[in-house]
Structure 1
């Protein structure tokens, strides 16, 4: 029996020099057919959000920044995309979906390791669903140090043995060079 894969915030607004490799890796992983269902979250920076109010950050308010990365479009259907506002963790609709399907474990990957991936993994842990974080399919828009910091916190809080590789790093710890930017 396949287990669910949750793709966290791999969306246009979070693709940068530190995360550009993630959509292709995720597409390759999904293409293996080892996980089902494949679910997605997308971050929406709502008006008057804490991000806008406290950090004066106004990105990811609408399309195209809130669109799931184009490499993942073959798997994106409205019924498997769960929108979330801020660091809220698991959206209620997604939590209800997991309860209805009685999942015991979830494989997690995405952007930002130190923020939304961390929060959602810890939320699943708190509600008794085992989170497995696929570390080579995660990255942070703030760079390698933020990614590693997120993994360090996750290691302590959900257990280091729940941090695993999908075998897609191609030998790179940080983002590989972006051939389109060279």
Structure 2
């Protein structure tokens, strides 16, 4: 039986987003990258240019320097495609890469679960891709409360069965 092609989408695993809280996602992200289970690895890389909505509306100016923008070395080395973005989402570019490689299934990991991971996953879902999230490979700088909120939103957005590692799945697998 032929396995359906699957991509790994690694969202914004960059020096400027890695913190004591978010670094807990790195071992799982590295494990997935090294697993050789994916036909394509796509990484997104956020940058915050002058005049951006982040600077203008929420007065946030981080991820502006090359040091902050740098991808995690293992992610950068393993990515087949790197998509630069200056917004929460790079849906059109991600979808185009997936279509170019004939891929309909995507596993998403990255930083920040409640913002960029959520928005990219919802976009791909809306555009007909089978999207799953591996929560062990996700974290947010918003902390545990924002992570918990993201899980609830992801379960509603892409379906509980596609949010791997959620409380729902843990309880279902032990019951």
Coarse TM-score class (shorter-chain normalised): 0.7 to 0.9
Residue 93 of structure 2 corresponds to residue 93 of structure 1: yes
Measured in 1, the distance between the counterparts of 2:54 and 2:163 equals 28
User: Where does residue 137 of structure 1 map in the other structure?
Assistant: 137
The alignment's C-alpha RMSD in Å is 1.5
Task: Give the total of aligned pairs.
Answer: 162
- Structure 1: tracts of 5 or more residues without a match: 166-182
Measured in 1, the distance between the counterparts of 2:126 and 2:161 equals 17
Residue 85 of structure 2 corresponds to residue 84 of structure 1: yes
Asked if 2 retains the 8 angstrom alpha-carbon contact of 1:22 and 1:137, the reply is: yes
1:91 CA drift (Å): 4.4
User: Where does residue 161 of structure 1 map in the other structure?
Assistant: 161
Correspondent of 1:43 among 37, 41, 46: 46
TM-score by length of 1: 0.83
Please state whether the residue corresponding to 1:61 is helix, strand or coil: coil
Please state whether the residue corresponding to 1:14 is helix, strand or coil: coil
Measured in 2, the distance between the counterparts of 1:29 and 1:102 equals 20
Asked if 2 retains the 8 angstrom alpha-carbon contact of 1:13 and 1:60, the reply is: yes
- Structure 2: tracts of 5 or more residues without a match: 166-175
Say which is worse superposed, 94-103 or 56-65, in terms of deviation. Answer: 94-103
Please state whether the residue corresponding to 1:122 is helix, strand or coil: helix
Runs of 4+ in 1 over 6 A off after TM superposition: none
Residue 67 of structure 2 corresponds to residue 64 of structure 1: yes
1:30 CA drift (Å): 1.3
Bigger helix share? 2
